[in-house]
Amino acid sequence: MKKVIGHNQAKKKLMNNLSVQSWLICGKKGIGKATLAKSFSNWLLIKNSRPLSKLVYGEKSLGEAQMSTTEYLSVFEERKQASTTKLPSEIEFRERSYDEVALDLHLIEGDTIGIEKVREMKNFLHLSPIQSEHKIAIIDSLEVMTNNAKNAILKILEEPPKNSKIFIISHKPYDIQTTIWCRCFQLNLLPLTYDETKQVASSQCKFDDQTFDEMITLFPGTPGMIINAISSDAYEAYKCFYKFLHDLKNPSMINKVINSEIELELASYIIQAFILESIKREVNDVEILLSQWKKIDELFVVAKQLHLDKKHVLANVVNIMT
């Protein structure tokens, strides 16, 4: 947990509520929600990990002990291609990195999360813990879950399996259905400070101060977005797109916005960053700008769900903004 930069209040809240089974971690995309959930899960699993002798032979019935051992060996072999004839020593087991040691952690992610992935998670959570006292699942994120998947997760949240913990990540807390909201303990993450953002980003990629200052204007407090932008060598395109938004009365600029090559999701973040900056500057137009923000956000949600043509979506964005 010490390696997680920032989010000190959130870390304290997690530490002070270890009995909570279902968490809803909310905040802007790229601020470190998944990183925090993984780090806390890893800490909790290692904190409560059993001695290797108990992990293998256990203090349960013979059938349960054999099941846990078989599962342990199966997963360990799959991840490390290790021989099943030799188990790691106690010290080796405890010193393994997050990816190797977290046998009781299940991560669900992807462009779309369907009901099958939720069923897999349910089966995982009902298994006996291998290394620790808990089985933990992280869903990244709620926004990419299908309606059937959301309905399935609701049933799990109503009666979570014993010794299980579920972390659901959401980039848009204002759009969460009440039935999910009321079954989880909410944890809101705020954007990182300038220095924290720079510290996180600099640990993952190289850049000069000017590049960082330009990127943090587009993606304030969200190092994940900055890292993706710089790593993909697309930050020049992002800068140009942001510049185009300042001159939408110019037909040529409108054309450049509509025909931009940047991904639609990133375009949505840059447009919303632009509107946020406009709100700070133009206090008298706050209602109009907030209305634009809401309409544009709804448009991007529909565009993602229905795979709408990017040019048509951006043309509609321009109409809303002008």
The 10s digit of each residue's pLDDT in 203-230 is 999 999 998 998 998 888 999 999 988 8
Distance CA 263, CA 300 (A): 12
Distance CA 191, CA 18 (A): 24
Task: Give, in order, the Cα–Cα distances in Å from 99 to each of 7, 42, 75, 217.
Answer: 23, 9, 12, 34
The 10s digit of each residue's pLDDT in 162-201 is 999 999 999 988 778 899 999 999 999 999 999 999 999 9
Given this model, what pLDDT does residue 50 score?
62
Given this model, what pLDDT does residue 106 score?
95
pLDDT greater at residue 62 or residue 158: 158
Question: Is the confidence at residue 238, as pLDDT, over 90?
Answer: no
Question: Is the confidence at residue 107, as pLDDT, over 90?
Answer: yes
Distance CA 189, CA 233 (A): 28
What predicted TM-score, i.e. pTM, was given to this entire model? Answer: 0.76
Mean pLDDT of 47-71: 48
Mean pLDDT of 67-72: 46
Query: Do residues 216 and 240 make contact, with C-beta atoms less than 8 angstroms apart?
Result: no
Given this model, what pLDDT does residue 286 score?
85
* Percent of the chain whose predicted confidence (pLDDT) is above 70: 84
Given this model, what pLDDT does residue 68 score?
46
Quickly state the pLDDT bin for 102 (edges 50, 70, 90). Answer: low
Q: Which domains does the chain have, with CATH numbers?
A: 8-188 (3.40.50.300), 194-321 (no CATH)
Question: Is the confidence at residue 57, as pLDDT, over 70?
Answer: no
The 10s digit of each residue's pLDDT in 255-267 is 888 888 888 888 8
Query: Do residues 197 and 30 make contact, with C-beta atoms less than 8 angstroms apart?
Result: no
